[in-house]
Amino acid sequence: MRVEMIAHALDWVYPPRCGLCGRIGEPPACPECVADMHSNGSPAAPVPLVDRCWVRFDYTARAAQAVRRLKFDRVTSLGPVLGQFLLAEVRGVLGDFDAVVPVPIHAMRWIERGFNQAESLTKGWPCRVDLSVLRRIKRTRPQVGLSQAERLSNLQGAFSARNVKGSRILLVDDVITSGATMTACADALRKAGARVVSAAALCGEKLGD
């Protein structure tokens, strides 16, 4: 009872707010902001080495803001909430995979950020999320402004996978832009024996546009 009273008092002093529009009431994201995230549908162009690709939202407006709030402002409570939207997109096919693998960030990046946003999306998913499959072993420069060929070359040797012979893997990431990161991950996984590699991203730009 005492704890509840303290919680009520804190709510009065610091009322809970939507993490996106700042309105008082519904953290981490209010229904209006969620309604303002636009469905993407599948990417227009296939991603090399990736069997299928699901994308939940266009990387615009509220969805892009949500990713930035999660990743750069470290509003980690947004991760599992946003992840549920992605889960709704892939729930029907989860059983087709042996493991869900969040796209890893480099250890130095993890130290800077304190968490991996891709991993935070998969918190609470009713399946095997395996963080031991894939590692990011090379710290790469930012991909922004690079051509597709430069992106692929930048990511050459960036990922290393343990033996996953015959496995079906679903990669998960927050954003898919050119698809180069997913291709680099899929390359490492296929070299480690993966039979199927598909990908799911919370946000995506329309590939091939």
H helices of the chain, in order, are: 2-13, 31-35, 61-71, 78-90, 107-113, 117-121, 148-154, 180-191
| Residue 157 near residue 137, CB atoms below 8 Å | yes
**Does residue number 82 form part of the binding site for Zn ion (CB under 5 A)?**
no
Residues 28 and 16: their CA atoms lie apart, in Å, by 8
Closer residue to Zn ion, CB minimum distance, 21 or 94:
21
**Does residue number 63 form part of the binding site for Zn ion (CB under 5 A)?**
no
- Within 8-37, which residues bind Zn ion (CB under 5 A)? 18, 20-21, 30, 33
**Does residue number 103 form part of the binding site for Zn ion (CB under 5 A)?**
no
Give me the least distance between CB of 33 and Zn ion, in Å please. 3
Closer residue to Zn ion, CB minimum distance, 27 or 46:
27
Helix axes 61-71, 78-90, angle to 10 degrees: 130
Closer residue to Zn ion, CB minimum distance, 33 or 164:
33
* Residue reference for tokens 């029907």: 92
Binding residue count for Zn ion, defined by CB under 5 A: 5
Closer residue to Zn ion, CB minimum distance, 20 or 105:
20
Contacts to Zn ion by CB under 5 A: 18, 20-21, 30, 33
